[in-house]
Structure 1
Amino acid sequence: MRRYNQVPEWWFTCILSTNIVATLFVIEYYKSQLQLPWWAFLLACGLAFFLTLPLAVITATTNQTPGLNVITEYIIGYLYPGYPMANMCFKVYGYISVKQSILFLQDFKLGHYMKIPPRSMFMSQVCGTLISALVHLGTSLASPDSPWTCPSDHVFYDASVIYGLIGPRLIFGDLGYYNSINWSFLVGALAPIIVWLLHKAFPSQKWITLITTPVLLGATIYMPPATSVNYNSWIVVAFLSGFVAYRYHHDWWGRHNYVLSGALDAGLAFMAVLLYVSLDMEGVGLEWWGSKPDGCPLASCPAAEGIVIDECPVWLKGE
Structure 2
Amino acid sequence: MEQPYDDSGVPLSYQPEKLEPYNHNLENSDEVNDSPIEEVRLTVSIKDDPTLPCLTFRTWFLGITACAALSFLNQFFSFRQNSLSLTSVSAQIAVLPLGKFMAAVLPKKAVRIPGTKWSFSLNPGPFNLKEHVLITIFANAGSNGVYAINIVTIVMAFYHRHIHPLAAMLLTLTTQMLGYGWAGIFRKFLVDSPYMWWPANLVQVSLFRIIWQQTKATFRDKFDDVHTRLMKKNYDAVPQWWFYSLSLIMIGLAMVACEGFGGQLQLPFWGVMLAIGIVLFFMLPIGVITATTNQQPGLNVISELIIGYLYPGRPLANVVFKTYGYVSLVQAITFLSDFKLGHYMKIPPKSMFIVQLVGTVVASSVYFGTAWWLLTSMDHLCHPSKLPVGSQWTCPGYNVFYNASIIWGVVGPLRMFGRLGLYVKMNYFFLIGLLAPVPVWILSRMFPEKKWVRLINMPIIISGAGNMLQATVVNYICWITIGVFFNIYVYRRYQSWWARHNYILSSGLDAGVAFMAILCYFTLQIRDINGMRWWGLELDDHCPLASCPTAPGIQVKDCPIFH
Measured after TM superposition, the shift of residue 48 of structure 1 is 0.7
Measured after TM superposition, the shift of residue 174 of structure 1 is 2.1
**Equivalent residue for 2:407?**
162
Is 1:183 the counterpart of 2:414 in the alignment? no
Secondary structure of the corresponding residue to residue 449 of structure 2: coil
Is 1:21 the counterpart of 2:252 in the alignment? yes
Q: 1:206 aligns with which of 451, 471, 477?
A: 451
Is 1:300 the counterpart of 2:542 in the alignment? yes
The one-character-per-residue Cα deviations of 1:16-59 (angstroms, maximum 9, x if unpaired) are 12222343354344563232233222111011112111111111
Q: 1:37 aligns with which of 259, 264, 268?
A: 268
Q: How does 1:227-242 map to 2 (within 5 A)?
A: 227-242=472-487
Distance, in Å, in 1 between the alignment partners of 2:463 and 2:472 is 15
Amino acid across the alignment from 1:16: S
Distance, in Å, in 2 between the alignment partners of 1:279 and 1:138 is 27
Amino acid across the alignment from 1:119: K
Distance, in Å, in 2 between the alignment partners of 1:277 and 1:123 is 35
Measured after TM superposition, the shift of residue 106 of structure 1 is 1.1
Q: How does 1:109-258 map to 2 (within 5 A)?
A: 109-144=340-375, 146=377, 155-245=400-490, 248=493, 258=503
**Equivalent residue for 1:94?**
325
Measured after TM superposition, the shift of residue 105 of structure 1 is 0.7
Measured after TM superposition, the shift of residue 192 of structure 1 is 1.6
Task: Determine if contact 2:486/2:502 at 8 Å carries over to the other structure.
Answer: no
Distance, in Å, in 2 between the alignment partners of 1:270 and 1:198 is 46
Relative to structure 1, is the Cα distance of residues 135 and 157 closer, same or farther in structure 2, using a 3 angstrom cutoff? farther
Q: Structure 1 runs of 4+ off > 6 angstroms?
A: 273-281, 315-319
Task: Determine if contact 1:4/1:117 at 8 Å carries over to the other structure.
Answer: yes
Amino acid across the alignment from 1:61: T
Relative to structure 1, is the Cα distance of residues 60 and 30 closer, same or farther in structure 2, using a 3 angstrom cutoff? same
Distance, in Å, in 2 between the alignment partners of 1:203 and 1:255 is 33
Relative to structure 1, is the Cα distance of residues 40 and 195 closer, same or farther in structure 2, using a 3 angstrom cutoff? same
Distance, in Å, in 2 between the alignment partners of 1:274 and 1:131 is 26
Distance, in Å, in 1 between the alignment partners of 2:513 and 2:364 is 30
Task: Determine if contact 1:31/1:37 at 8 Å carries over to the other structure.
Answer: no
**Contiguous gaps of at least 5 residues in structure 1:** 293-298, 306-314
**Equivalent residue for 2:531?**
284
Task: Determine if contact 1:81/1:167 at 8 Å carries over to the other structure.
Answer: yes
Q: Aligned Cα RMSD in Å?
A: 3.6
Task: Determine if contact 1:279/1:285 at 8 Å carries over to the other structure.
Answer: no
Q: How does 1:50-89 map to 2 (within 5 A)?
A: 50-89=281-320
| TM-score, length basis structure 1 | 0.79
Relative to structure 1, is the Cα distance of residues 229 and 134 closer, same or farther in structure 2, using a 3 angstrom cutoff? closer
Amino acid across the alignment from 1:76: I
Distance, in Å, in 2 between the alignment partners of 1:29 and 1:16 is 19
Q: Which is greater in Rg? A: 2
Identity %: 48
Amino acid across the alignment from 1:300: H
How many residues in Structure 1 have an aligned counterpart in Structure 2? 303
Measured after TM superposition, the shift of residue 213 of structure 1 is 1.7
Relative to structure 1, is the Cα distance of residues 145 and 220 closer, same or farther in structure 2, using a 3 angstrom cutoff? farther
Relative to structure 1, is the Cα distance of residues 76 and 197 closer, same or farther in structure 2, using a 3 angstrom cutoff? same
Secondary structure of the corresponding residue to residue 144 of structure 1: helix
Task: Determine if contact 1:52/1:98 at 8 Å carries over to the other structure.
Answer: yes
Secondary structure of the corresponding residue to residue 90 of structure 1: helix
The one-character-per-residue Cα deviations of 1:67-102 (angstroms, maximum 9, x if unpaired) are 111111111011110112211221121111000001
Secondary structure of the corresponding residue to residue 204 of structure 1: coil
**Equivalent residue for 2:209?**
none
Amino acid across the alignment from 1:36: L
Secondary structure of the corresponding residue to residue 296 of structure 2: coil
Secondary structure of the corresponding residue to residue 263 of structure 2: helix
Task: Determine if contact 1:36/1:86 at 8 Å carries over to the other structure.
Answer: yes
The one-character-per-residue Cα deviations of 1:232-277 (angstroms, maximum 9, x if unpaired) are 3323333344442465456875776544544554465567668878
**Contiguous gaps of at least 5 residues in structure 2:** 1-230, 383-394, 549-558
Larger RCO of the pair (alpha carbons < 8 Å, separation 6+): 2
| TM-score, length basis structure 2 | 0.47
Distance, in Å, in 2 between the alignment partners of 1:5 and 1:169 is 51
Relative to structure 1, is the Cα distance of residues 199 and 250 closer, same or farther in structure 2, using a 3 angstrom cutoff? farther
**Equivalent residue for 2:27?**
none
The one-character-per-residue Cα deviations of 1:97-132 (angstroms, maximum 9, x if unpaired) are 000001101111112222221111101111122222
Relative to structure 1, is the Cα distance of residues 145 and 285 closer, same or farther in structure 2, using a 3 angstrom cutoff? farther
Measured after TM superposition, the shift of residue 9 of structure 1 is 0.8
Relative to structure 1, is the Cα distance of residues 139 and 243 closer, same or farther in structure 2, using a 3 angstrom cutoff? closer
Distance, in Å, in 2 between the alignment partners of 1:32 and 1:200 is 55
Distance, in Å, in 1 between the alignment partners of 2:347 and 2:270 is 40
Task: Determine if contact 2:486/2:498 at 8 Å carries over to the other structure.
Answer: no
The one-character-per-residue Cα deviations of 1:152-182 (angstroms, maximum 9, x if unpaired) are 6555443222211221222222222222222
